[in-house]
Amino acid sequence: MALADDLPPREGMDFDVVIVGAGPAGLATAIRLKQLAAAAGSELSVVVLEKGSEVGAHILSGAVIDPVGLTALIPDWKEKGAPVDTPVSEDRFYYLGPAGSIRIPNFIMPPLMNNHGNYIVSLGNLCRWLGEQAGELGVEIYPGFAAAEVLYDEKGAVTGVATGDMGIGKNGEPTDRFTRGMELKGKYTIIAEGARGSLAKALMAKFALAEGRQPQKYGIGLKELWEVRPEMHRPGLVQHTLGWPLDDGTGGGSFLYHYGANLVSVGFVVHLNYRNPYLSPFGEFQRFKTHPLIRETFAGGRRIAYGARALTEGGWQSIPRLVFPGGVLVGCAAGFMNVPRIKGSHNAMLSGIAAAEAAFAAIAAGRAHDRLDAYEQGVLTGPISRDLRRVRNAKPMLAKFGTALGTALSGADMWANTLIPGIGLGYTLKHGKPDHATLEPASRSKAITYPRPDGVLTFDRLTDVSFSATNHEEDQPAHLKVADMALQQSSEHDVFAGPSGRYCPAAVYEWVEEDGKPRFVINAQNCVHCKTCDIKDPNQNINWTVPEGGGGPNYSGM
């Protein structure tokens, strides 16, 4: 058989618009493109590639959604049966100590934090429904196909993407399953990969899209879905906490949303600018569930799903250039998450709509493969900008002053931005270091011992991962590429004591002792595609690339 470098040419397909990622951003783009074409009586071919085995399989979110994006896209979503059924009925916010809690009164919370009018949903199920709406409009959606490579023309403009080859074995050679990837070309290519997209990362580097911006900041969000006893279920209750089990210098907090048929989404976010390499976000999440305020909710209930995903936290000052020749970034691939509101899905949809409108107008004018500057201007002056500008100092304040003081100061700042819209106190704080540069050496850090899981309320990582239904073809090259194994040992292991073994929510990385020497083991088949390793490895020595399409978690209802 031929070596992977010596493969037959790829077949190609041409479309008007190629969209990478069937999350809220990509699906909103596709739907609005088709709506515009139908209104104009014109034909427009739109394709969406999704690396999950089905639409929604890789979507993990809270989620309390602000329906502003959905309503702008499909005003009659209620009549059309969108799975958006649980309105928020109560908002609670607590600061936790090890044994007690203080409830922060709702009236001192900045109004933008109020969830009145919002809904508790499974974002994965909402995406499944959006996928159906897109399909009915004639969008071609290909789940199980990962976009692995960006295609360029001779002038350097993006002309589309190529899907990965299937059936390349561990040794890099084609197997019996071999199928060559496809080239999908479009007049415009929309990158809707969500937080830390692998193609977005390559495009940012090639076109220097992040130059002059503050570094993007991230968090890792871990989530379990529980079915609780009916007497513990309070449909519409939205509860957030700060504080314990994190120390004041480590940012993060929890969410707990009651919705559907006795369902509770419980999750924990740890900001990835944490310093102690011994910290385990998974361990903090498990410990959080044991707090007296929390544990009662789950007594007699059962965990039905688990997963994890990175989220963007840089906000306004970290938004990269959104356009490049031949395409744009939308949704969390561009970083439109509002951190204090813990919401990004509304901006993902609004950005998809804006991108569709710019691409449709350009195609109607006979253009292709150029810059959709109208999209960037629309985002920077429209509702996404207004949403993000008023919270722009919240994340830097938490990072600078710690959770307690930082929350108080950012609350005051958000109030000022509410009372003096568009201006606030007039300053924009910087983020400082990127998240991969914040770890302290292990020698200067305190080891953390996490309690043993009880298997009822708290779990070990591997058991939890089995509730993500993650599956990858075993005979394929590892999709987690370590550029320099010697550096991994001399720095990640020797200096930082192997933080990958703790930050990875799926127990992919381990350092094992072999012949008296440490060896880095990568259990790539467990990977839930959260992208944390790509973000937090202290040397940026791990590169997350797409595995074979269809691999990864098979989230249901996340």
Ligand X SMILES: Cc1cc2nc3c(=O)[nH]c(=O)nc-3n(C[C@H](O)[C@H](O)[C@H](O)COP(=O)(O)OP(=O)(O)OC[C@H]3O[C@@H](n4cnc5c(N)ncnc54)[C@H](O)[C@@H]3O)c2cc1C
Asked if 336 touches ligand SF4 (CB under 6 A), the answer is no
Binding residue for ligand SF4, selected from 528, 548, 550, 554, defined by CB under 6 A: 528
Binding residue for ligand X, selected from 16, 23, 438, 504, defined by CB under 6 A: 23
| Interface mask toward ligand X for 527-546; x: CB under 6 A | -------------------x
CA distance readout (Å), 166 to 1, 56, 150, 182, 239:
15, 22, 17, 10, 43
Signed CA dihedral, 396, 401, 405, 409: sign only: negative
Distance spanning both ends of the chain, measured CA to CA:
41
Closer by beta carbon to ligand SF4, 291 or else 531:
531
Asked if 480 touches ligand X (CB under 6 A), the answer is no
Sequence-separated (6 or more) residues with CB below 8 Å from residue 199: 20, 147, 149, 150, 161, 191, 193
Restricted to residues 350-389, the positions that interact with ligand X (CB under 6 A) are none
Phi, psi of 83 (to 5 degrees): -75, 65
Residue 29 contact, options ligand SF4, ligand X, none, Cβ 5-8 Å cut-off depending on partner type: none
Closer by beta carbon to ligand X, 169 or else 331:
331
User: Got the DSSP string for 454-474?
Assistant: -SSSS--HHHHHHTTT-B--S
Asked if 215 touches ligand X (CB under 6 A), the answer is no
Choose among 1, 532, 541, 557: nearest CA to 270. Answer: 532
DSSP 476: S
3-state secondary structure of 395: helix
Residue the block writes with tokens 């989530």? 223
DSSP 491: I
Binding residue for ligand X, selected from 83, 197, 327, 505, defined by CB under 6 A: 197
Nearest distance, CB of residue 47 and ligand X, angstroms: 11
Nearest distance, CB of residue 334 and ligand X, angstroms: 8
Closer by beta carbon to ligand SF4, 293 or else 535:
535
Asked if 189 touches ligand X (CB under 6 A), the answer is no
Closer by beta carbon to ligand X, 143 or else 501:
143
Phi, psi of 261 (to 5 degrees): -90, 85
Query: Token digits for 274?
Result: 């944490």
Asked if 225 touches ligand SF4 (CB under 6 A), the answer is no
Binding residue for ligand SF4, selected from 480, 482, 546, 558, defined by CB under 6 A: 480
Distance of CA 370 to the CA centre of its chain: 28
Asked if 531 touches ligand SF4 (CB under 6 A), the answer is yes
Asked if 505 touches ligand SF4 (CB under 6 A), the answer is yes
The total of other beta-carbon atoms located within 10 Å of residue 28's CB is: 31
| Interface mask toward ligand X for 301-320; x: CB under 6 A | --------x-x---------
Q: List residues binding ligand SF4 (CB under 6 A).
A: 480, 504-506, 508, 527-533, 544
